Amino acid sequence: MPTNKTPNRTGLLQGTLDMLILRTLLFGPAHGHQIAKHIQRTTDEVLQVEHGSLYPALHRMERKGWIVAKWEMAKDRNREFKYYRLTPGGKKQLVRERSRWKQLAAAVATMLRPVRGD
Amino acid sequence: MSVWNWLRSRIARVAIWRRRDRDAEVERELEAHLELESEEQRDSGVPPEEARPAARRAFGNTTRVQEDVREIWSAIWLERFAHDVRYAARSLRKSPGFAAVAILTLALGIGANTAIFSAIDALMLRPLPFTAADQLVRIYSIQKGMFNTFANPDGPSALDVRDFAQRSRSFQNMVAYDTWAKNVSFGESAGRPEQMEVGLVPAAYFEILGIRPIIGRLFSEDENEEGKNYVAAISAQLWRNRFDDDPSVLGRKIRINGEAYSIVAVMPNVIPAWVEPGRHSEIWTPFPYSPDMWAESGRGERGYAALARLKPGVSVEQAQADLSVIAAALAAEHPVDDGVGVAVKRLADSRVGALRPMLYLLMGAVSLILLIACVNLANLLLARNLARQRELAVRAALGAGRSGLVRQLLAETLLLSLIGGAVGFGCAQIGLTALARMHPENLPQLRSVGIDWRVLTFTLLVSLVTSLLFGLAPAFMGTRLNLVDALKQGGRSGMSGRSSQRVRSLLVITEMAMCLMLVVGASLLIRSIIRLEGQNLGIRQDHLLRGRIYLPPVRYSNPGVRTRFCDDFGTRVRAVPGVTGATVTTVYPPNNGWTQMLVIPGHPVTRLQDVPSAQFGVVDQHFLRTLGIPLLRGRDFAEPDNATSPPVALISKEFKRRYFATEDPIGRKIHIGPPQLPGIAVEENITDDVDVTIIGIIDDFKNAGLAHAPQPQITVLYSQHPLVNGGFKDILVRTASEPHAVESEIRSQLRALDSDVPLAEVQTIDELVERSTGGRRFTTVLLASFAVAGLALAVVGIYGVVSSLVAQRKQEMAVRMALGASHGNVLWLVLKHGLKMAVIGAAIGLCGAGAAQKFTAGLLYGISPLDPLTFAGAPVFLLAVAAIACAIPGARVLQIDPAQALRQD
């Protein structure tokens, strides 16, 4: 049974969105809207999070056990939101993703280093 | 199929239900998001009525998002599992040969385990059919230095039970009871009687067990008094067989030992045979307490069965401690109780009795069988998964993850196990029914063996564990794929060769080791049973028939009358055509069971433990001649030895060795009965105040059971010893041809003497011996068949591995042969591999068999559990079988044409 059939319309490298979400949740529980806003703000609006990929990503990560979700009353308004929070497994995953990302970034950087004699 | 459909619809329903739930939740989540979004739009100046559509636009396609989320959650495990199982069923249907072999192997392994477990369940686990059965205990007497030990305890005396009941605080109720063989006839008048077991029980017996009569009443307290005891309770079984469930049975009479008893109750059929000390009782009468039963002289008369019910909350250990203190006090008060202790055991634990070590041994054996079966299947699966590598690789290439593939392969093994378990369960059921029919009298406990929910659970668990045992390793190994290699057309799978071959060899070694343990165990048992049954009893064993009679005291109260009856009976039987000899006796091999204390001149004693004792028997003058026991010295009993002549005795060789080591016993006098010691009243035992003169020494014969050396034996004439000339006598008849042929003539001679005395338990001595080894024989037959099954499985295992080795290394062999290796060299290469596995396996197996000796030790006779011949012979046998199993695929090597084989690649 194929498990990763979710369409990848993030415009980001695969796995990047996951890493950003995990990173966001490191600061505490948040609901979907907050996560999207937080990613946009912290990347200086460079990364636009498409909602069409945010929610499937959240559910995929919930299923994998990296995050858990719970309906809770928001502090500032009289409405329930589905808050996501990080699990220990999610924290481990973040570490893994981060080191993979570093490797990738280093590899890309090496590739793009100006060739001698250029 | 309807079950399958039902299951599928359930799975689908659960899946749909969960999906709807999930959809609603996603919708709610997105709705919350949209609301926040539109608030933001409003805040940034968009008019309220346009804010919502703007938010929607900004968000994108919500339906699409919902679909994506649904996709993520849709493959819930149940759906996936059903899918896996369906796929597994399809793939098994495609290889029916493999499936059949696997299912049969599993059925054998699981079936054998189920059968033995159901015996363990019936004998050790199933609750007793009594209310609050964990409060029920048996009470035993333990006597230091005597035959009875904790392993083989004796019953207490009636006085013990009375004192225990009065002084202890742990019991609600306690009762002593007994079972006797008596002559019973139904109907008012004397009719054809038969010998039946009659339980002698006070009402408390039924009260303790918690059994109420179906109709009628329990015995009253004064019916336990002698003279008022002519009432009887019958079982519902007997009520049906003899009285057609007639409710007017109450008040009807049955005759027991010639006396009329009126029926006062019908009891339900709930008391299992093993609760009663003799065999199964269908009739119970009160326990008539004769006044002298409570006399102090009866204190030493042990051997009654005792049953008690603990007070709620009192543990067996507490009760044991309570009674131990009392027993110690009794031992201090009464010299006869010196060294006598007490044991309290759960009634439920007395059920399995001597069968316990047998069951453990068999359970061990069937576990080995199952393991061997698992190993074989693991091997089979490894080969199958290797053959399927391309299929698996294609699926992996199409995106199946490794976990998915492993799950898929495990689903296959699970399916196999469950089907195998179901088939095995059926086989066990059939096998048990057959066993129960084969083996009714010797092992009454086995009659209750059957299938219940515990057995079902066991089978299911075993099937699950089995599937993991044989499925896990092959699944992981089979999915360790090198995609490029595996997909390359015709590529020789590099990995498959080495590491999987190593695993398969390891599996075969394990299998050989377990098989050797089975072979060793079975041959040890077979050899001991051959020794046991082939034992010299010390008599001429063939053509010897035994029958039992009982002369009830009502009509045979006078010893002289009993003597005349027995003499007449013997004379009449000797006159029957085809009979060459007959003797009326109480002693004959293999078991006597009547131990008598003696006073022997030159053996002064001060303590009870030191009193000389011997196996004792009363016989007529034809004893030696009929049994064929050699007379070593002196003379045999003769006609002139009668009631008026001086009493004489024959002693055995062992008796002389023990008590007349240096002197000549002939002509010496000994006293039959205990010495005058403080605490032992002379009239207490069945004794005899007449001294006997030893007239001869006879050869030893088996008198303490087949498995024990002959004990000292002394034999006297019943005509000369009225006090020990009791009502129970046996007749032994030597015949010229088939012994049972004269049975009816003997019966009619007995009837001519007294139509109210039945001839019971007619058997040849051969049959008697066979019956006494029944339990062992049963174990041996089972264990031997398990060993054969294990051997067959192991042979298949080693054959499979060597064949695949040959197939895989065909090219290598061809190269070797092309380079000049002879056929013999190449064949040896194959054999060497197989034999190496067998040798290592056998070595490990020997260690295992050595370690398992404590399971067999208790069941062996005349052979050490580490018997060198067996421990040397079994591996040789196993190696020979393994060599043959390897030689068959090895022979295929010889057919290799090097030129052709090399061209193939």
- Residue B492 pLDDT exceeds 80: no
Question: What's the pLDDT score for residue B866?
Answer: 86
| The pLDDT value given to residue B150 | 42
B440 and B521 both lie in a single domain: yes
Asked whether residue B124 is assigned to any structural domain, the reply reads no
pLDDT the model gives residue B505:
84
Q: Over the stretch B271-321, which tens digit does the pLDDT of each residue have?
A: 887 777 656 788 999 987 766 666 666 676 777 889 999 999 999 999 999
Pick the closest to residue B417 from B115, B119, B111, B83 (CA basis).
B111
Instruction: Please give the full DSSP string across B666-714, using - where no structure is assigned.
Output: TT-EEEES---BTTB-GGGSS----EEEEEEEE-----B-TTSPPPPEE
From residue B444, alpha-carbon distances to B122, B272, B278 in Å are: 12, 9, 11
Instruction: Give the end of a domain, one of B28, B52, B74.
Output: B74
**Domain count for chain B:** 4
Q: Which residue has the tokens 């006044």?
A: B291
Q: What is the CATH number of the domain that holds A46?
A: 1.10.10.10
Q: Does B514 reside within a domain?
A: yes
Shortest CA gap B400–chain A (Å):
6
User: What pLDDT score was predicted for residue B761?
Assistant: 85
Q: Does B68 reach chain A within 8 Å, measured CB to CB?
A: yes
Q: Which residues of B touch A59 (CB under 8 A)?
A: 26, 69, 72-73
CB-based contact B28 A63, cutoff 8 Å = no
Report the pLDDT value the prediction gives residue B296, as an integer from 0 to 100: 67
Q: From residue B738, how far is each of B540, B576, B731 by CA, in Å?
A: 15, 14, 17
Q: Which domain holds residue B340?
A: 133-350
Out of B60, B68, B83, the one facing A7 most closely (by C-beta) is B68
- What share of chain B has pLDDT > 70, as a percent? 87
For residues B334 and B413, state if they share a domain: no
Residue A101: inside a domain, yes or no? no
pLDDT for position B682: 45
Inform me whether the pLDDT recorded for B82 exceeds 90.
no
Indicate if B482 and B585 belong to the same structural domain.
no
- Kindly state whether residues B517 and B424 are assigned to the same domain: yes
Contact residues for B41 (Cβ-Cβ < 8 A; gap 6+): B50, B51, B54, B55, B58
> In terms of residue numbers, what domain contains A32?
28-86
Q: Which residues, 6+ apart, have CB-to-CB distance to B476 below 8 Å?
A: B406
The pLDDT, as a whole number, for residue B447 is 63
Average pLDDT over residues B187-196: 70
Q: Considering only CA atoms, which of A75, A94, A85, A90 is closest in space to residue A32?
A: A85
Beta bridge partners of B729: B549
Q: Tell me the C-alpha distance between B61 and B65, whole Å.
A: 7
pLDDT at B145 over 50: no
Within-domain flag for B382: yes
**B709 and B803 share one domain:** no
Do B389 and B326 share a structural domain?
A: no
Q: Are residues B631 and B701 in the same domain?
A: yes
- Residue A4 and residue B72: Cα distance in Å, rounded? 8
d(CA B478, CA B404): 12
Residue of B nearest to A80 (CA): B32
Instruction: Look at residue A103 and tell me if it is in a domain.
Output: no
Q: Which amino acid is at A43?
A: T
CA–CA dist B580, B452 (Å, integer): 54
**Would you call B35 and A79 a contact, using CB atoms and an 8 Å cutoff?**
yes
In-domain check, residue A16: no
pLDDT at B293: 63
pLDDT tens track for B435-456: 766 654 556 566 666 677 888 8
Determine, for residues B32 and A33 on separate chains, whether the beta-carbon distance falls below 8 Å: yes
Same domain, B420 and B313: no
- Residues above pLDDT 90, as percent of chain B: 25
Mean pLDDT of B395-417: 79
Tell me the pLDDT band of B877, cut-offs 50, 70 and 90. Answer: very high
Q: Is the ipTM of this complex over 0.90?
A: no
Tokens of B141: 């007497």
Q: Do A6 and B71 touch (CB under 8 A)?
A: yes
Residues comprising chain A, all counted: 118
Distance CA B615, CA B710 (A): 9
Mean of the pLDDT values across residues B634-660?
A: 92
Q: pLDDT by residue (tens digit) across B317-371?
A: 999 999 999 988 888 887 777 778 888 988 888 887 767 777 888 888 888 888 8
Same domain, B312 and B456: no
B308 occurs within a structural domain: yes
Averaged pLDDT score across all residues of chain B:
83
Report which of A100, A101, A8, A2 is spatially closest to residue A54, judged by C-alpha positions.
A8
In whole angstroms, how far apart are CA A91 and each of A18, A24, A104, B544? 12, 11, 20, 87
Q: According to the model, what pLDDT value does residue B332 have?
A: 83
Average pLDDT over residues B27-32: 85
B25 CB near a chain A CB, below 8 Å? yes
- Between chains, do A55 and B26 touch, taking CB under 8 Å as contact? yes
Q: How many domains does chain A have?
A: 1
Residue B329 structure tokens: 């006090």
- Does one domain contain both B370 and B462? yes
Q: Are B66 and B157 contained in the same domain?
A: no
Task: Show the tokens assigned to B65.
Answer: 């998002």
How high is the pLDDT of residue A51?
Answer: 75
Find chain A residues with C-beta within 8 A of B73's C-beta.
59, 63
Whether A60 sits inside 8 A of B35 (CB atoms) is: no
Binned at pLDDT 50, 70 and 90, residue B213 comes out as very high
* DSSP-derived secondary structure letter, B289: B
Q: What's the pLDDT at B576?
A: 93
Which burial class, exposed, middle or buried, applies to A63 when counting CB atoms under 10 A from its CB (0-12, 13-18, 19+)? middle
- Chain A hits for B28, CB-CB cut-off 8 Å, are 82
Q: Which amino acid is at B177?
A: Y
- Is residue B683 one of the residues assigned to a domain? yes
Mean pLDDT for each consecutive 10-residue tract of chain A (118 residues)? 38 69 88 86 73 83 86 81 89 84 80 64
Task: Report whether B183 contacts B757 (CB < 8 A).
Answer: yes
Contact list, B25 vs chain A (CB under 8 Å):
82
User: B62, B52, B70: which is closest to A52 by C-alpha?
Assistant: B62
Tokens of B417: 């196990």
Cβ-nearest to B404 among A1, A32, A82? A1
* Cβ within 8 Å of B, A 6-25: 6-7
CB of B29 within 8 Å of a chain A CB? The answer is yes
pLDDT at B697 over 50: yes
Distance CA B860, CA B852 (A): 13
Of B730, B756, B782, the last residue of a domain is: B756
Identify the pLDDT of residue B481: 66
Asked if pLDDT for residue B684 goes beyond 50, the answer is no
pTM exceeds 0.80? no
Query: Six-digit token pair at B412?
Result: 């296959």
Question: Phi and psi (nearest 5°) for A18?
Answer: -55, -45
pLDDT at B603 over 90: no
The answer to whether the Cβ–Cβ distance between B33 and A32 falls below 8 Å is: yes
Give Cα separations from B41 to A74, B272, B273, B410 (angstroms).
20, 86, 89, 54
Do B743 and B653 belong to one domain? yes
Cβ distance of A51 and B26 shorter than 8 Å: no
> Which DSSP letter does residue A77 get?
S
Return the closest-CA partner of residue B361 out of B871, B860, B866.
Answer: B860
Q: Return the higher-pLDDT residue of B667 and B503.
A: B667
Would the pLDDT of B434 be above 80?
no
* Contact call for A3 and B29, based on CB within 8 A: no
Q: Mutate which of B23, B67, B69 to disrupt the A interface (most A C-beta within 10 Å)? A: B69
Residue B153 C-alpha from the chain's centroid = 20
Say how many Å lie between the first and final Cα of chain B, rounded: 48
Q: Is B690 part of the contact surface with chain A (CB cutoff 8 Å)?
A: no
B65 touching A, CB under 8 A? yes
Domain end: B350, B376, B395, which one? B350
Indicate whether B622 pLDDT > 90.
Answer: yes
Q: Is the C-alpha dihedral spanning B673, B677, B683, B684 positive or negative?
A: negative
Looking at residue A115, what is its pLDDT?
Answer: 61
